[in-house]
Structure 1
Amino acid sequence: MRVVVIGGSGHIGTYLVPRLVRAGYEVVNVSRGERAAYADAPEWAEVRQVVADREAPEFPGRIAELGADVVVDLICFTLESATALLDRLRGGVGHLLHCGSIWRYGPSRKVPVTEETGTAPVGEYGVQKDLIARMLKEETAAGGVVTTSLHPGHIVGPGWQPIGPLGSHDPEVWYRLSAGQPLQVPGIGTELMHHVHADDVAHAFEQAIARRDAAAGEDFVVVAPTALNVRGFAHEVARWFGQEASLETVSWAEFRRATTPELAAVSWEHLHRSQCFSVEKARTVLGYAPRYEPEEAVLESVRWLIGNGELKVARALAV
């Protein structure tokens, strides 16, 4: 069975592509060819590499010409792009899987959020992911292409900066916690974030491919078994460095004055949603079994960043 992975050199593909090779699939990775996967693996030697630009008008046709049984689309962000690809695959591919986002749901009102209880999305990114998921579900329900959409939380893993305790990529947060310095926290510190290790997301995609009939026309949230809130996350990070977190809760107005507009905006986007999800549907239907708790996944990322000189901290990890 031939599986074409669009964007297979990125976060999820780094783990998904080797998994698929080990499972016996013929794998084609489609990317812009600008970078290698985040982690090397011997299975990549068996992968066919195709260079293509997702934004090019001829892209959907190039994917159709690859003769895939399964297409995994990891880098689709607009309904227009998703529809263009689907139109070219209709009648030719057996299963189309789309990578969405938990941001297809808006700020939580009841937790844990399920696929049925999420609120309407806010922001263009979330709106587009929601529109894509709905379009794919309708396609399958109407007897068209078999589709599945999976919606990861905040993806973490070695090789890139994770979303930190304040809901942003601010490197200063890690330094202050490692040094035991006071950290200003906007709100009251109970706002939630739901991370997931990239390999657990890859596992979910592999399971959805293997259980095509069960996954047909469905959408799934893919996150860690539990979620972290701001203060719990900060205390956990401080512990990694043998410190106690010293947190000062401040208003959002105060927080915005103390940081850059860009970092404040990213923090707000993550924290005002305050999301925590259930993975029960993915467990029951796909056999999803995440290996990483959120703090374990983030620690793996931070350890890699420190070891590769990409994150400055005040002292060595104590764990």
Structure 2
Amino acid sequence: MTGEGEINAALTVFSLLQSPSFDLRKTYFLTAGVAGISPTVGTLGSVTFARYAVQVGLQYEFDARERPRGSPTGYVPLGSLAYDQYPSAIYGTEVFEVNDALRKLAVGFARTAVLNDTDTARAYRAHYASTPAFAPGASPPSVVECDTATSDTFWTGALLADAFENTTRLFTNGTGAYCTTQQEDNAVLAALVRGAIMGKVDFSRVIVMRVGSNFDRPYNGQSAAANRFGDSGGFVPALRNVYVGGVKVVQGIVNGWDEIFSGGVVPTNYIGDILGSLGGEPDFGYRIAFRVQTL
């Protein structure tokens, strides 16, 4: 357990990396936990695997009642003057990209699991069926490839969901597909990148998995407060699916260790942070954004 929130997660993982008791250079890291989920992509109990983790809270924030004129949101990227401008002030933890070839293997393993569902969760998600865009939210849980948003703030509602969907697209130059919300993943990945720089871990051996336990926005006719403070029935099947989905990934790696995983899964994409700290050229981020802007 890393502890909840970015500070706890970062310190826990980095402390583990400093322990002389472990040689983690060939270790596979599976981050696994519950998350909010967008009904446009998945539902309660859906098991998701991310290629990108985006720190959406790392922005200027205006109270929505005082947001800039003409802006649909009170969130503006750091160093920028509008919500749709790429941040010009980069801290280094805005975006992480993990090994997509490994992700696809993990997805294949997880899809062999029989996912849990409950009558309460079925009844709650049925409310989303009246909105065509929310059809995935009204469907049974499944395994989905989509990306995750990190913020210490536990937010909810259609307006913030739209804002952070925009942030995910913007920070990844249109590549990222937002679907889950959580409070730890960028912190965990930041610690692992630093561990990789020190030669203690292999960042190509990282898998980011989250399971939907609540919806990030209400169904048609429901208030954001009712969505957040009510009981969707999603927490119990989500916890169960963290295990049943995750254990299939662990078993797949262990069973295929000699043939595939001991030597590592060679990435077919850039891996690392927004700064290129592990080498290579990020296929997202400020370098590409500024290059496009100057063409």
TM-score with structure 2 length normalisation? 0.24
TM-score with structure 1 length normalisation? 0.22
Structure with the bigger RCO (C-alpha within 8 Å, sep 6+) is 2
